[in-house]
Structure 1
Amino acid sequence: MAGITGARITIIVSALGAGGTEHVVSLVASHWARLGCTVTVITLEAPTSEPYYRLDPRVTIERLDVPVQKAGKLRAAWLVARRLYRLRSTISRTRPDFVLSFLTRTNVLTLLATRGLRLPVIVSERNNPAVQPFGPFWKWLQLRLYPRAFALVTMTKGALDYFPPNVRRSSRVIANAINLPDGWQKKRGNNVLTAVGRLTEQKGFDLLLEAFAKVASDHPEWKLVIWGEGEARKALEAQRNALGLADRVEMPGVTAKPGLWVETADLFVLSSRYEGWGIALLEAMAAGLPVVSFACEWGPTDMIANGDDGILVENGDINALAEALSNLMGDETLRARLAANAEANVRRYDAEHILSQWDAVALAAREHTAGDKTEILRRAPLRLDA
C-alpha cells in the first residue's frame, strides 16, 4: 500500500518464540518491511534469544533483556518499572509514526510507556479477554488504559464485544492469515491424529487424552501426536501413561520449522477450553486436513461450518469429542469430503487479504500522526528571524 511506504513502525511483543501471536508479528512486520517501511520489533527477551518464525532481514529486533519471569511482589514491581523505562527509551529512539502492541500485559506496558509522547498506539488482543487469567490488577489497568489507544484490534467480533463502548469506538476485527510453510509436502497415510499448541491448561490436551483413551482400542491403527511445549508437559505425560497410552501418544515438542506438522497429519483436533482464534486449526484446514474442534469461544465457530468443512462439538464435552474422533478415524470418505471443503472455504483468510486490513489500520495511524504534526506546525508561533 503506497500510503504507508516509508513509514516508521515499532511493534512490541513480549517474545518471538513459537506461538500464534509471534507468527502474526513475523508476518505483519515482514510485510511492512517489504513495502519499504522502517520496522522495529521490540521484545522483552534476553539478547541471545532467537525468533522461531523467520522475519525479513530488513526488520530490526531490539531485545530489552527484561523477560517475563515469576517473582515476588517487590521484585515484580521493580521488573515492571525497569521494563517501562527501557521500553519508553527504546520507543523514543526508534522515532515511530505509530506503535503496534500485542497481548494484554504488553499492551498495558506500552500505553504506560508512551504517555505524553503523542504517538498513536494500536493494541491487539490475541485471546479470549473474558477468561484469560491475567489478574485483577492488570484487568483494571487494561480497562483504564485501553480507551487511550488509537485503535483496538481483535481477531473475532466475540472478543471485541467483551470491551465497553469507550474501548470499541475505534476498533477493527482482523482474523489471522493463512501462512503455511514454504515447500511443504504431504507425507500422509500413517493414521496420525494431530494436535498443536502450547502445553497449557487452556489448550485442553488433558481433555483430548481422555477422549482418545475412550476410542483408542477401536482404532488400533491410529496414534495421537501432540506438538508443542509448555509447563503442563509432566502432568500430561503422567496422564498419558496412567491411561495406558504410552505407546499410542507422542509428544515430540516443537517442530524444527514452523508448521511442518501439516505434512504428517491425517486428522487434526483442537481441544482448547478457549481461544483467541486458533491459528493451528486454520493451518490444518488450509492444508487440506479434516478437522474436529470444540466449539470454544472464540475462533473455531468462525472458521468451521459444522458438518460441511469440519466437525464442531460442544465445548468441554469429552464424550462428544471421542465420538466425533471415532467417526472420522473410521470413515475415510468423510475425512476426504471435509478436507476438500475446508481447503476451499478458508481461502477467505489468505495472507494478501488479511494483510491489506492491517495496512488500512497502519495508514489510518500514520495519517493521524501526520495530522498531529501539521496541527503542531500550524499552532507554532511565527518566527520572523528564521
Structure 2
Amino acid sequence: MSENSNSPAVVAGNMSGARVTIILPSLGAGGTEHVVKLVANHWAQLGCKVTLITLELPHARPYYEFDPRIAIERLGLPPQQGGKIRAGLLVLRRIYRLRSAIRHSQPDFVLSFLTRTNVLTLLATIGLPVPVVVSERNNPALQPFGVFWKWIQRRLYPRAFGLVTMTRGALDYFPEKMRSRGWVIANAVDLPGEWQKRRGNNILTAVGRLTRQKGFDLLIEAFARIASRHPEWKLVIWGEGDDRKSLEALRDALDMTDRVEMPGVTQRPGVWVETADVFVLSSRYEGWGIVLLEAMAAGLPVVSFACEWGPSDMVEHGEDGLLVPSNDVDALAEALSRVLADGELRSRLAANAEASAKRYLPDRILSQWDAVALSALKHTARDHAATASVVGAGSA
C-alpha cells in the first residue's frame, strides 16, 4: 500500500459512486444519530450514494441536518406496546420491509447501528451478497435488551463482515473471532456552528435521555446534598424520556423544585454548551458519552462517574476533569461541591479539557470510518470479480 493511499483524494476516488445503506431505529436527538449524521454527510460529500433506512413513521423529522443528496426511507414500524405475539409479528414485519428496502437501495455495503437493529439487519440480509458492518453504541455487558435478543445476537453477529465499537473494552466483550475484524472508533466532537458563550449564571448542566441508564436520579440526589452550600448554583438537565415523571417527583420530594430545571430537548443540537458553567455526567453505564466530550471541547470543567466505558478514555482525573467511582452519590456530591466552590479549579480543568478534546476532531475520526467503508467495498469488489470469473468460465 502506498504512503498516500489514505489521503483524502485517494479515499474520495475509491469511494465515489459507492452505494452505502445505513440503518438505525430513528433520526431523533441522540449520540448515535449524531454520529450517523457526520458519517452519512461525509460520505455523501465524497460522492457516495447514501441511503438511510429507519423504523420511524413516515412523517418523522430528523433532529440533525442531513445532506440533501441522502435518501431517507422510513419503514413506519416504530416500537409499539403489546404482548409477545404482537411483538413477534412486528419483528417479522420489520425484517420483511427492511429486506425489501435494502434490496431496493442496491448497496455495496450496509452499516447498521444499535443492537436490536443490528440483529434485524443481519436477519434481513440472509442470502444477500452484501457485507454488513454492525456498530455497538453502548456497553454490551450492561445494556439490558432481553434474553431473546442476547441469544440471537451471539448467533448472528459472527455473520457480520465487521464490528465497530467506541472503546477497546466494548470490543473485547465479544468473541475473538469477531474482534479479528473489528474497529474501535471513538465518537467525533462536533459542536454547533457559530455557538456563543452565554455563561456566568452558575449553571450545572447535564444532558441525555431521561432513562435509568443516565443516572439523573443519582445526580438529583447528589445535588440536593450540596445545594445549601452553593445557593447561587442551579442544576439544568436537558433531555426527554420515559423517566421524566419519576425524576420530577424525586426533585420535588427533595425540595429542589426551584433549583433543578428539566427543560426538555434543546431546540438546536448542542446549544446547551452556550449556557453551561460546569458539566456533569452521571450515567450508570455508557458506550462512550458524547455529551461529555462536547462539554470538554466547549471549554467546560467536567465531573463524571468513571463508568465503563468512555469517560475514563476521555478524562484524566485531576488534569482535564474529575472522575468519581460509579454510582457513588456521596463521591459525586463532594466532587461537584469542590468544583462549584473553586473558580480557579474550574478554569484550569476547562482549559485542559478543551485541549484534550482536540484528539477527537471530525477529520481524524471520519478517516477511521473511511477505512471501514473501504474494507467492505474491497470485499464486495472481490466477490463481484469472483462471480464474474465463475460466470466467464461457465460460458467458455
Same structural fold, with TM-score higher than 0.5 when normalized by the shorter chain = yes
Q: 8 Å contact 1:100–1:123 — kept in the other structure?
A: yes
Q: Does 1:326 align with 2:330?
A: no
- Equivalent-residue separation in structure 2 for 1:114 and 1:298 (angstroms): 30
Identify if the C-alpha distance between structure 1 residues 97 and 384 changes in structure 2 by more than 3 Å, giving closer, same or farther.
Answer: closer
Which one of the candidate residues 264, 278, 283 is aligned to 1:267? 278
Shift of the alpha carbon at 1:70?
Answer: 2.3
SS, match of residue 132 in structure 1: coil
Q: CA deviation at 1:69?
A: 2.0
Match of 1:91 in 2: 102
Q: Tell me if structure 2 keeps the 8 A contact 1:14–1:68.
A: no
Name the CA distance, whole Å, in 1 between partners of 2:19 and 2:268: 30
Match of 1:294 among 299, 305, 314: 305
Q: Which stretch shifts more, 282-291 or 161-170?
A: 161-170
Distance 2:368 2:81 in 1: 36
Q: Report the count of equivalent residues.
A: 385
- Deviates further, 33-42 or 62-71: 62-71
The reply on whether 1:191 has 2:168 as its aligned counterpart is: no
Residue 343 (structure 1) aligned with residue 359 (structure 2):
no
Aligned to 2:382: 371
Question: What SS does structure 1 have at the residue aligned with 2:133?
Answer: strand
CA distance in 1, matches of 2:82, 2:104: 29
Q: Percent of counterpart pairs with the same letter?
A: 69
Is residue 2:315 matched to residue 1:304?
yes
Question: Which residue of 54, 67, 71 maps to 2:82?
Answer: 71
Distance 2:50 2:82 in 1: 32
Aligned AA (2:43): W
> 1:160, 1:263 → 2: CA distance?
34
Q: Are 1:285 and 2:296 an aligned pair?
A: yes
Partner of 1:210: 221
Q: What letter corresponds to residue 246 of structure 1 in structure 2?
A: T
Choose from 146, 149, 157 the match for 1:138: 149
C-alpha RMSD over aligned residues: 0.9
Query: Which segment is superposed worse, 182-191 or 61-70?
Result: 61-70
TM-score by length of 1: 0.99
Counterpart of 1:235 in structure 2 is: 246
Aligned counterparts of 1:286 and 1:60: Cα–Cα separation in 2: 31
In the TM superposition, residue 380 of structure 1 has moved relative to its aligned partner by: 1.0
SS of structure 2 residue aligned to 1:226: strand
Q: Give CA deviations for 1:316-358 in whole Å, capped at 9, x if unaligned.
A: 1101100000010000000000000000011010000000000
Distance change >3 Å, CA 384–CA 204, structure 1 → 2: closer
1:122 equivalenced with 2:141 (yes/no): no
Looking at structure 2, the residues matched to 58 and 380 of structure 1 have their Cα atoms a distance apart, in angstroms, of: 35
Rounded to whole Å, the distance in 2 between the matches of 1:204 and 1:71 is: 27
- Listed as ranges, the gaps of 5+ residues in structure 2 are 1-10
Amino acid of the residue matched to residue 63 of structure 1?
Answer: R
The TM-score, its normalising length taken from structure 2, stands at: 0.96
Could you list the structure 1 runs, at least 4 aligned residues long, displaced by more than 6 angstroms after superposition: none
Gaps of 5+ in 1: none
Deviation at 1:73, TM superposition (A): 0.8
Instruction: Classify 1:140/1:383 alpha carbon distance in 2 versus 1 (closer, same or farther; 3 Å).
Output: closer
SS at match of 1:142: helix
Query: Per-residue displacement from partner, 1:144-182 (whole Å, max 9, x unpaired)?
Result: 011111110000001111111122121000000011001
User: CA shift at 1:384, angstroms?
Assistant: 6.5
1:66, distance to aligned residue in structure 2 (A)? 0.7
